[in-house]
Amino acid sequence: MPSTGPADFTRVAWGTRTFLMGVLNVTPDSFSGDGLHRDLDAIVARAREIEASGADIIDVGGESTRPGHTPVTAAEELARVLPAVEAVRAAIRIPISVDTSKSTVAVGALAAGASIINDVSGLGDPEMAVVAATHACGLVIVHPEPVDPVAPLTSLVRALAQRVSAATAAGVSPGRVVIDPGLGMGKNWLMNFEIIRRLHELRALGLPILVGPSRKGMIGKVLGVGPHDRMEGTAALVTMCIAGGTDAVRVHDVLEMKRVAVVADALVRSAP
C-alpha cells in the first residue's frame, strides 16, 4: 500500500499547519508504559487508531530512549521493528518513520515499508547519513546530548548545524531533513523549558523543526504526576512549541493533541 502525506519532506507545505507524528512503541520498557512489544494484532490496531486520530506520520520505535534504559542489540531491535513495520505498512496509508540509532535497523525498516528515519542519536552511527542518502528518505536529526548551560541555544544550534552538514556531505538533500532539539536527551527538566522558551532560535538553521514534548518528565516535575497523567501538561507544551515555531510534534495522545494543534494553528498561523 503506498504512502501518502509527508513521506517525502520536500513536498510538505511546512508552515501551513502543525504536523503530528504519532508514537507507536514496540518495546517492553517504554517510559510511558505504552510499549506493545511483539503483539502484532495490538500494534496494527494501535496504528489504525493513530491514523484515524489525525496523525500525519507513525513513528515505530523498538528501543526505549528513556533515562536509564537498557540498550538492545541490533538483532533484537530488528526482531521487534521489522514485523511491526511490515504489518503496519499493510494496514495504513500514512508514512512510517523508524525511531532508531542504528543504521542496520534503519535499512531493514526502510525495506519493510518505512520512509523516514528518526535518528535519535543525531548521526551517532556514521553510516546513518549514507543510508538516508542512498534511500532518498526523510531524515529527522535529533540532538541527543547535553547543551552548554551558559549558552544553551547557541550550542544547540551549532551542534545541529554540524550534523546537518554531515548529512548533506553524505548526499542527503537538505529538503529531506528535519531537526529535533531532543528534549530530555541529556538535558535536565529546567533546560527543556529553556529550549521551548527559545525554540524560535532554531529557525536560524532554515529547516523544519520537530519537537517531542509528549508526557515528558518535565511535566511531572511541575505537576508531580506520572506519565499517564500528563495530558494537560503535554497540551501546554505543544501549544508553546507551536507558538515558538515548531513545524511538527511527536505525541502519544494523537486525537487530543491534534485538537490542540488545530486551535494553536488558528492563533499562530491564522490557519482555519
**CA–CA separation, 229 vs 176, rounded Å?**
35
Q: Which of 17, 102, 215, 216 does the annotation list as catalytic?
A: 216
Q: Which of 250, 258, 259, 269 does the annotation list as catalytic?
A: 250
What length is written for the chain? 272
**CA–CA separation, 17 vs 68, rounded Å?**
35
- 250 catalytic per annotation: yes
- C-alpha cell recorded at residue 158: 551549532
**CA–CA separation, 219 vs 133, rounded Å?**
37
Strand partners, 60: 24, 98
The four Cα atoms 44, 48, 53, 59 give a dihedral, to 10 degrees, of 50
**CA–CA separation, 210 vs 94, rounded Å?**
17
Place of cell 496504528: 47
Active-site annotation, residues:
216, 250
